[in-house]
Amino acid sequence: MESHVFEVWAPTPDTVRVSVDGTVHPMTKSSQGWWTAEVPAADGARYGFLIDDDDAVIPDPRSPRQPDGVHAASALHTLDTDVWTDESWTGRRLPGSVIYELHIGTFTAEGTFDAAAAKLDHLVDLGVTFVEIMPVNGFNGTHNWGYDGVLWYTVHEGYGGPDGLQRLVNACHARGIGVVLDVVYNHLGPSGNYLEKFGPYMSQGANSWGQTVNVAEEHSDPVRRYIIENALRWLSDFHVDALRLDAVHALADNRAVHILEQLAIETERLSAHVRRPLSLIAESDLNDPKLISPRAAGGYGLDAQWDDDIHHAIHAAVSGEKQGYYADFGHLETLATTLRRGFFHAGTYSSFRGRVHGKPIDVRTIRGSSLVAYTTTHDQVGNRAIGDRPGFYLDGGQLAIKAALVLTSPYTPMLFMGEEWNASSPFQFFTSHPEPELGKATAEGRKSEFASHGWDSDDIPDPQDVATYDRSKLIWDEVSDDEHARVLDCYRSLIALRRDRIEITDPWLDHIGVDYDEDKGWISVNRAGVRLVCNLSPDPVTVPFGGVPLLWWDAPTQDETASTTTVPGHSFVVLD
């Protein structure tokens, strides 16, 4: 049996021991707070650490596998490199791509990586070029959105563990699809976080989800390495092509080199080594172009960021919803501004926040493809009180308009699983906390949150009820049903048009033109002669534009000279 070097950064305790398959071994501490021990161990050996006089074995913060859950011993695990068949994979860049966000547990009835791989042909046929997988690292319980992770180096066993993720990535690459993995570095979940027993991994501050991670305070250097090496592990060991960085505005970093900039530098270095593009996509509510500005211009140099303003502008204009953070949206003028400039709140007053918010994008240096646009996401569905998708309250034409506005935009479009066929299943907030008190607090907190928004608390599903999880699974049998199939065909056609016409994937925002009539309810987006016209009103409207109709929801009509076009209510047409 070969020896294995066990190591852990633990500057806080006086003594650390390692238990390997039930045998306890002493460890030696370095001046930097790293404890090491070289012990004979085979792949699969169960191990964990004992802190000071406590005989409880706790998992490795860098555990590669947790076969028995996040409170149990870790297991040594080495990926089988013979599984990889993607030697010819050269990767994908974000510009020109279409992303598809999915949750492994609810994407299929089985809720596994292998079951998701069996659905990839659907995504290829749809025209998707990236799948974005919601977080899969170790959390307590059987099912969860993934944002309660506590062991960042592990892969949830219920999905298929690390080997299952490897097989899915390999299968995606075999079909020409890149993989984006959603990762969370701004907080840890409420159950299974043992990091503070080892050292100052957590800071003195807090954010919306609890204590923040120590990326800037005393002893933060090893914590930053803990994060960055985790990110690089997904990109290197698991061949992942991009990372979606959750809620980076909650990273409390005031150091001269922000951790996002440091991660971008090291990701570029790895990309050069593996000879394929590696991308970083931030989620941020700051509307700050610094994230995606080049480092030479004082930015962090990330590749893209989610843009909620685009979602809000489209959704409010089409649906008429004006509550909460939609309050400043809903007008075609707002939509036009956002389509042309990426952010609506760009140094302007936000009534929802009660203050000025955001900063303008320099359209000469930042490409539209650096902003991810969407009609919906896991947040925009799952954080509604009952998890209702847009198709629950909008008709097919309104859904088609939303899709057309995103898929013909200069931004990088992203779909949320099932939206392409107007899935009938909701996507609700679900948890499976084994601790009764934590489950109760989660359910009560959910009801309290939405009661303040005027929702009837009796309508809000219990996140701990397994039925809430089961209801959220996609129903694949409905895809070919008439109304679902029509929406799916519309999405396929829009994505195909985006792929075929260079005018549509042109990423420069100063090349886009927008016209609209607030009173009549139409908006037109001109992409160098390829023109999208959307009629958001329920009645037909005649617009002063002609051309050859390429694609539509309901068939338009034109006058004898083809200088005007009449678009049916709740419909769109693309003119050439």
Active site residues: 246, 283
Residues 6+ apart with CB under 8 A from 273: none
Q: Is 548 annotated as a binding residue?
A: no
144 marked among binding-site residues: no
Q: Is 395 annotated as a binding residue?
A: no
Of residues 431, 444, 443, 433, the one with CA closest to residue 472: 431
Q: Annotation-wise, does 433 bind a ligand?
A: no
494 labelled binding-site residue:
no
Ligand-binding site membership of 510 (annotated):
no
Do the Cβ atoms of 224 and 262 come closer than 8 Å? Answer: yes
* Residue 388 annotated as lining a ligand binding site: no
Angle, alpha carbons 521-523-526 (nearest 5°): 170
Q: Do the annotations mark residue 439 as ligand-binding? A: no
CA–CA separation, 177 and 171 (whole Å):
8
| Whether the Cβ atoms of residue 151 and residue 192 lie closer than 8 Å to each other | yes
Give the orientation angle of helix 308-319 with respect to helix 332-341, to 10 degrees.
150
With residue 503 as reference, give the H or E element that holds it. helix 502-505
Please state, in angstroms and rounded to a whole number, the distance separating the CA atoms of residues 137 and 181. Answer: 10
Chain centroid to Cα 483, Å, comes to 28
User: Rounded distance, CA 22 to CA 116, Å?
Assistant: 37
For residue 244, say whether it is annotated as part of any ligand binding site.
yes
**Is 173 annotated to bind ligand?**
no
> Which parts of 307-460 are beta strand (E)?
348-350, 355-357, 371-374, 412-416
Local structure of residue 391 (DSSP, 8 states): G
Q: Does 309 carry a binding-site annotation?
A: yes
245 marked ligand binding residue: yes
- 78/150 Cα distance (integer angstroms): 21
Determine the Cα–Cα distance for residues 490 and 421; give it in Å rounded to an integer.
9
Residue 328 is labelled as binding a ligand: no
> How far is it, in rounded angstroms, from Cα 193 to Cα 139?
9
Residues forming beta bridges with residue 413, ordered by sequence position: 373
Please tell me the distance from the alpha carbon of residue 165 to that of residue 136, in angstroms, as a whole number.
9
Contacts of 9 (CB under 8 A, 6+ apart): 32, 33, 34, 35, 61, 198, 199, 222, 226
Q: What letter does residue 553 receive in the DSSP assignment?
A: S
Residue type, 79: L
Q: Is 248 part of any known ligand binding site?
A: yes
What does 324-382 look like in DSSP terms, one character per residue?
GGGTT--SHHHHHHHHHHS-S-SSEEETTTTEEE-----TTTS-GGGEEEES--HHHHH
Amino acid at 225: R
The annotation status of 258 as a binding-site residue, yes or no, is no
Cα dist. 260→232, 282, 283, 370 in Å?
Answer: 13, 9, 12, 16
311 known ligand binder: yes
253 assigned to a ligand binding site:
no
Residue 82 sits at φ, ψ, to 5 deg, of -70, -15
Q: Are 98 and 84 in contact (CB under 8 A)?
A: no
Residue 450 to residue 563: CA distance in whole angstroms: 49
Annotated binding site: 244-249, 308-312, 378-383
Which parts are annotated binding residues for substrate? 244-249, 308-312, 378-383
